Amino acid sequence: MPAHIVTVFNQKGGCGKTMVSMQLSASLALRGLRTLLVDMDKQGTSTIWAGQGGIDNPYPASVMSLAPLREKMISEVAKHAENHDFIVIDCPPAIESSIPWAALNISDIALIPVIPLMDNVWASREAKELARRALDENPTLQTYCVPSMSRRGNVFKACTEILQDDTQIPLLDTGLQQRNAYGESQMFGLSVHGVSGASAAVKEVEALTDVVLTKLGVAISKKPAKSKIAKQKEAA
């Protein structure tokens, strides 16, 4: 069966697109699902991040930069769809770029990471508009906002409530909170699954993966395998 395609996009820079893409892809791969992360950002953050992993403890999913191909990535992604279960596309920040549009047209599900702050809420309107327009070409596309870097506080609460008001492009209940473990995972070239003491982060990443699988109608019986680092720590 061809791969399920997940696009992570938002024109807002620094809202957590790469973080969501990297953690979700790792979680899918650790469940034994053949997962390819396609880095469409010229900054190449996902590609560099995955490159930090060690030879004996690599980042769990495959990562490939197709940024130079721009919208021609569609034909390249199609070549990889047959031998993967999931392809996750990490988009660049600019929405005027043709890349998010091209990615939305071939995706099963689109995730818009949004930090619950007003500037992110305002910017999310443009991203949502693009996803709504993509429905003309791709009527089965499902789009959701994902809480990113959330913390407690009245502003976060108010912004979350605004995002929850949209029933057409809903806010998922599960997202990634602001946690040090995410930065650490980047430093090690891994996901939070390979960071010690990161159980709260792992739990929320797994919850997000379960939601994505459920929305796509994929069975979620597979649980993530322990990373090599976690196994070594247990044995010590």
Ligand X SMILES: Nc1ncnc2c1ncn2[C@@H]1O[C@H](COP(=O)(O)OP(=O)(O)OP(=O)(O)O)[C@@H](O)[C@H]1O
| CA atoms 35, 193, 186, 113: torsion sign | positive
Residue 13 binds ligand X (CB under 6 A): yes
**One symbol per residue from 38 to 77: x for binding Mg ion (CB under 5 A), - otherwise; what is it?**
-------x--------------------------------
Q: Which stretch binds Mg ion (CB under 5 A): 13-21, 95-103, 121-129, 165-173?
A: 13-21
- Written as six digits, the tokens of 120 are 């992110």
The span from the CA of 182 to the CA of 195, in Å, is 9
Q: Which does 183 bind (CB under 5 to 8 A by kind): ligand X, Mg ion, none?
A: ligand X
**One symbol per residue from 14 to 33: x for binding Mg ion (CB under 5 A), - otherwise; what is it?**
---xx---------------
* Bridge partner residues of 148 (DSSP): 176
The span from the CA of 147 to the CA of 167, in Å, is 15
Contact (CB, 8 A) for 167 and 157 = no
Q: Which does 16 bind (CB under 5 to 8 A by kind): ligand X, Mg ion, none?
A: ligand X
Instruction: State the nearest-atom distance from the C-beta of 104 to ligand X, in Å.
Output: 16
- In the complex with ligand X, the residue whose CB is nearer, 85 or 120, is 120
Residue 16 binds ligand X (CB under 6 A): yes
Residue 124 binds ligand X (CB under 6 A): no
Residue 97 binds ligand X (CB under 6 A): no
Instruction: State the nearest-atom distance from the C-beta of 139 to ligand X, in Å.
Output: 27
DSSP 80-145: HHTT-SEEEEE--S-TTSHHHHHHHHT-SEEEEEE-SSHHHHHHHHHHHHHHHHHHHH-TT-EEEE
